[in-house]
Amino acid sequence: MNNWKRQHPTAIFIGFISNLKELIFTVIAVLIFGQSSQAGGTMFYTIFFSLILVVSLGNGIIKWVTFRYQLAEDELKIKQGLIFRKRRYIRKERIQSIDLNEKLLQRLFRLVEVRIETAGGGSEPEFRIVALKKQEALEIKNELLHKNPAEKTSEMEETGESLPMEEKSVSKTTSDQPYQWKLTGFRLFITAITSSGIGIAATFVAAITSQVQQFIPDAFYEQFIGWLLHSSILFIGFWVVVILFIGWFITLISTLLKYGMFQIEKQLDEIHITRGVLERRNLTLSATRITSVRIVQNILRQPFGFVSVYVESAGGGRKEEDLSTILIPLCKRKEVTQILENVLPEYAVDMVYTPLPKESVRRYIVRLIFPSVIIAGLLTYFLSYGWISFLLPIMAAGYGFWQYVDAGIGKNESLLWIRSRAIARTEVLIPRKRIQAMTTTQTFLQKFDLLFSVHVSIITSIIGKTFTLRHISKEQSEECYLWYSYEETENNRED
């Protein structure tokens, strides 16, 4: 009975490498900011960093030695820690989802990372076993995720604990034909091209190029800068273009790798998302925990009618995706409803929007013109040719008008949908029963035009999130209010 197992020894290596990855950022930061080129500096850093390396390696080994797990009948037992020993028993009923991730390093060694998500938040809703053989991981997954206890015990008796799960998974799939959606190669390419991460990547490239100067001999550098200053604005423009292009290229490749082989599979109440070329990532979402759907169309995708779809869910959600999970990286706007019908039928509605009242045009436009006039004024004052920047308020006005045109609201008995534009055009679909609280506000400026704003709050993985639509009419705000109110006799409430 007492068969505690350790992870695959590669866990040490994987832990070490991921430490190294973090360390590299520290090294870069030190190189960039700590430009103390005194003698002995390099010596100090070398010793300092190698010490860190040794410590982290030792730490990894200790972790591997002390981390042990055991798969019991209805739970996963885990022991860890050298000085502070911790035992954790993860009970089967508490488990929300188990995902097997094949990150790059794991993949090299044909291992998987097991990510177990448990219910009820707590201090550690998520639990990872970094490196396991795929076989073992599947065993854990099948043991702990099998929903029907009666069926499970009978099967247990037949097959024993260590038998593979083929039978079980087969019985699962036959019971309910799963729906599948895949991102085609062409679409993947479009996703990568039109990804809006370019800005970030370009900034990164620019930051790197600005640091390159330290590695270039001073004489050459001075000469180069002198030449650059003499050369025309066109030439600087050329560099900007080059940097943007490199940034775009990096985004392109990373998006291709990230969303390559993207696939959704809907089975019963669970949505399985698998993605990634080098790193295979696996994510299970429970449809019952999804609190809203967002349809986002960035400017690059707008001309082609492409959108991406995100879901917020109570629990889950990756950090890098703004606490929400990408459900569909790219599809045509008109396909969304049809896909949602299969994946999240609750959200599959024809969204009809009522536009905002005419009065709110002014508010949208003024809101953007005001800061841009200030900026343009400052530029005119301080720069020759600064007056050109007075094009800015004109553009701002146009943009404000665009925001007004895109803004809209609509609802049926159970769903509210809001469309607005910050930079990308975003549509949010929120079920009434997922709204935690609704607020309408009216600023003193809105008062002149009898306008309101509406805010709805929902739960996301960590904290609440509030969606806002500005400058709706009085009737629209009252409608929202009545729609959300849980009082039956809203209209004639009198004591």
Partner 1 sequence: MRLKPKQQLDLKALKVWRIVAILEWLFFFLILITYGILIKYLTFPVWPIYLILLGVLLIGYFKIFLVPKLQWEKWSYEIYENEVELMYGILVVRRVIIPMIRVQHVDTKQGPILRHYGLSTVTISTAATVHEIPGLEEEKADELRDYIAQLAREADPNE
Q: Catalog residues that contact partner 1 under the rule CB under 8 A.
A: 314, 433, 435-444, 457-460, 463-466, 478, 481-482, 484-488, 490-491, 493-494
Residues with Cβ < 8 Å from 46, sequence gap 6 or more? none
Q: What is the Cα–Cα distance from 101 to 112, expressed in whole angstroms?
A: 6
User: Which residue has 């050109």 as its token pair?
Assistant: 388
Please identify, using beta-carbon distances, which residue of 291 and 426 lies nearer to partner 1. Answer: 291
Map residue 364 onto helix, strand or coil.
helix
What is the nearest approach in angstroms of partner 1 to the Cβ of residue 416?
Answer: 13
Residue 206 has which token pair?
């620019």
Please identify, using beta-carbon distances, which residue of 320 and 494 lies nearer to partner 1. Answer: 494
What is the nearest approach in angstroms of partner 1 to the Cβ of residue 442?
Answer: 5
What is the nearest approach in angstroms of partner 1 to the Cβ of residue 464?
Answer: 3
Please identify, using beta-carbon distances, which residue of 423 and 437 lies nearer to partner 1. Answer: 437
User: Which residue has 């950022």 as its token pair?
Assistant: 25
What is the nearest approach in angstroms of partner 1 to the Cβ of residue 424?
Answer: 23
Please identify, using beta-carbon distances, which residue of 339 and 430 lies nearer to partner 1. Answer: 430
Q: What is the Cα–Cα distance from 260 to 280, expressed in whole angstroms?
A: 9
* 363 burial level (CB within 10 Å; 0-12, 13-18, 19+): buried
Please identify, using beta-carbon distances, which residue of 297 and 453 lies nearer to partner 1. Answer: 453
Please identify, using beta-carbon distances, which residue of 223 and 412 lies nearer to partner 1. Answer: 412
Please identify, using beta-carbon distances, which residue of 95 and 314 lies nearer to partner 1. Answer: 314
What is the nearest approach in angstroms of partner 1 to the Cβ of residue 476?
Answer: 12
What is the nearest approach in angstroms of partner 1 to the Cβ of residue 440?
Answer: 5
Q: What is the Cα–Cα distance from 167 to 24, expressed in whole angstroms?
A: 46
What is the nearest approach in angstroms of partner 1 to the Cβ of residue 474?
Answer: 8
Q: What is the Cα–Cα distance from 160 to 120, expressed in whole angstroms?
A: 31
* 37 burial level (CB within 10 Å; 0-12, 13-18, 19+): exposed
What is the nearest approach in angstroms of partner 1 to the Cβ of residue 93?
Answer: 20
Cβ(452)–Cβ(285) below 8 Å: no
Task: Return left, alpha or beta for 10; rule: phi > 0 is left, psi -120 to 50 is alpha, else beta.
Answer: alpha
Please identify, using beta-carbon distances, which residue of 22 and 490 lies nearer to partner 1. Answer: 490
Cβ(335)–Cβ(328) below 8 Å: no
Nearest of 471, 478, 490 to residue 438 by alpha carbon: 478
Pairing mode, if any, of strands 281-286 and 290-297?
Answer: unpaired
Which residue type does 130 have? V
Q: What is the Cα–Cα distance from 102 to 134, expressed in whole angstroms?
A: 9
What is the nearest approach in angstroms of partner 1 to the Cβ of residue 490?
Answer: 5
Task: Return left, alpha or beta for 145; rule: phi > 0 is left, psi -120 to 50 is alpha, else beta.
Answer: alpha
What is the nearest approach in angstroms of partner 1 to the Cβ of residue 494?
Answer: 7
Q: What is the Cα–Cα distance from 312 to 3, expressed in whole angstroms?
A: 40
Strand partners, 430: 416
Please identify, using beta-carbon distances, which residue of 274 and 477 lies nearer to partner 1. Answer: 477
Please identify, using beta-carbon distances, which residue of 167 and 475 lies nearer to partner 1. Answer: 475
